[in-house]
């Protein structure tokens, strides 16, 4: 609820910005996949994710400008993997995801050419999500990331938009809630970072409406191990190399 109220407050502030600022709200659905490269059985979670978005871009014909990208997302994934304490025993079920992401961008816009702006962008943001595997087993992720890319946008009320670049999680922390499943300590896991590509393509077919397809996600290498105890026994856990993959389609309403 706090995340939704914060997004609504930000929307109100951005709507009060100068008239040449551009605000967009969106709703859409995406195919979501989370894969853990475990042995002997890989963990794969996949399914539909429902997404609400809020975008703001300072409107300038050229030069340095500011932009914001935010979203809320929720979905239930089909789980296909193995048991936590018996990694060679297959298991299936359902995993729930709830999260929010917020990103600030600095862009340098070149002067319009043939009806299009070209933006060079650098962004920094945070993505927070809860991955609930059962009534007693859940994981909270906090990921700070940066991205670099190029974006091409039509200057008129109709036209295409394209964008592509690379994304890098500069810091990631996973709270696996070890004490909820009976361990004595709850150390945090820190998956290592790897680069991931992103991109989008869309068409603005009316002054206020656009349809955009996109691909995004995260890529992580294996984390260092952490040690926990239970009943006098010692255990070590790590987050295996993992990849989050999102392919979505959203309808935007532009103000």
| Per-residue pLDDT reduced to its tens digit, 41-69 | 999 999 999 999 999 999 899 999 999 99
Alpha carbon distance 232, 189 (integer Å)? 22
- In this structure, the number of other CB atoms found within 10 A of the CB of residue 71 comes to 20
Phi/psi at 253 (5° precision): -110, 120
Alpha carbon distance 35, 53 (integer Å)? 25
Give the torsion through C-alpha atoms of 153, 115, 211, 62, to 10 deg.
30
- In this structure, the number of other CB atoms found within 10 A of the CB of residue 141 comes to 24
Residue 203: its pLDDT value, please? 98
Residue 85: its pLDDT value, please? 72
Read off the pTM: 0.88
Read off the tokens for 244: 């989050």
Q: What is the pLDDT of residues 146-188, one digit of tens each?
A: 999 999 999 998 999 999 999 999 999 999 999 998 999 999 9
- In this structure, the number of other CB atoms found within 10 A of the CB of residue 179 comes to 12
Residue 86: its pLDDT value, please? 78
Alpha carbon distance 14, 217 (integer Å)? 27
Q: Is 9 left (phi over 0), alpha (psi -120 to 50) or beta?
A: alpha
Residue 57: its pLDDT value, please? 96
Residue 21: its pLDDT value, please? 60
Residue 83: its pLDDT value, please? 80
**For the chain, what is the mean pLDDT?**
91
Task: Find out whether 238 and 222 touch, Cβ atoms under 8 Å.
Answer: yes
Q: What separation in angstroms does the CA of 164 have from each of 118, 198, 223?
A: 12, 6, 28
DSSP three-state, residue 186: coil
- Superfamily (CATH H level) for 2-254: OMPT-like (2.40.128.90)
Phi/psi at 6 (5° precision): -65, -40
Share of the chain above pLDDT 70, in %: 92
Residue 4: its pLDDT value, please? 41
Q: Where are the domains of the chain?
A: 2-254
Q: Is the pLDDT of residue 237 over 90?
A: yes
Q: Is the pLDDT of residue 70 over 70?
A: yes
Residue 154: its pLDDT value, please? 94
- In this structure, the number of other CB atoms found within 10 A of the CB of residue 241 comes to 17
Read off the tokens for 16: 């009060």
CB contact burial 19-53 (16+ within 10 A = b; e otherwise): eebbbbbbebebebbbbbeeeebebebbbebebbb
Q: What separation in angstroms does the CA of 46 have from each of 37, 70, 154, 174?
A: 15, 22, 34, 20
Residue 171: its pLDDT value, please? 97
Q: What is the pLDDT of residues 77-136, one digit of tens each?
A: 999 998 877 788 999 999 999 999 999 999 999 999 999 999 999 999 999 999 998 888
Q: Is the pLDDT of residue 17 over 90?
A: no
Strands 196-204 and 233-237: unpaired
Please compute the mean of the pLDDT values over residues 203-213 and round it to a whole number.
Answer: 95
């Amino acid at each position: 609820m706090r995340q939704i109220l914060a997004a609504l407050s930000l929307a109100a502030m951005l709507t009060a910005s100068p008239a040449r600022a551009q605000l967009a709200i969106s709703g859409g659905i995406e195919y979501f996949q989370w894969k853990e490269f475990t042995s002997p059985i890989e963990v794969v979670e996949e399914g539909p994710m429902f997404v609400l978005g809020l975008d703001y871009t300072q409107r300038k014909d050229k030069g340095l400008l500011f932009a914001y990208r935010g979203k809320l997302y929720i979905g239930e994934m089909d789980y296909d993997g193995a048991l936590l304490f018996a990694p060679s025993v297959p298991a299936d079920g359902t995993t729930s995801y709830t999260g929010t992401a917020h990103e600030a961008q600095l862009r340098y816009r070149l002067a319009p050419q043939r009806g299009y702006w070209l933006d060079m962008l650098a962004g920094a943001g945070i993505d927070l999500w809860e991955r609930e595997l059962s009534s007693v087993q859940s994981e909270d992720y906090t990921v700070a990331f940066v991205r670099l890319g190029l974006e091409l946008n039509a200057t008129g009320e109709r036209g295409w938009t394209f964008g592509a670049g690379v994304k890098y999680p500069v810091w990631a922390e996973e709270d696996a809630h070890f004490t909820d499943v009976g361990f004595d300590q709850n150390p945090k896991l820190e998956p290592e970072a790897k680069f991931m590509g992103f991109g989008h393509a869309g068409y603005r077919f009316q002054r206020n409406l656009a349809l955009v397809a996109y691909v995004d996600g995260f890529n992580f290498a294996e984390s260092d191990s952490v040690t926990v105890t239970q009943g006098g026994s010692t255990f070590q856990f790590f987050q295996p190399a993992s990849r989050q993959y999102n392919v979505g389609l959203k309808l935007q309403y532009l103000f």
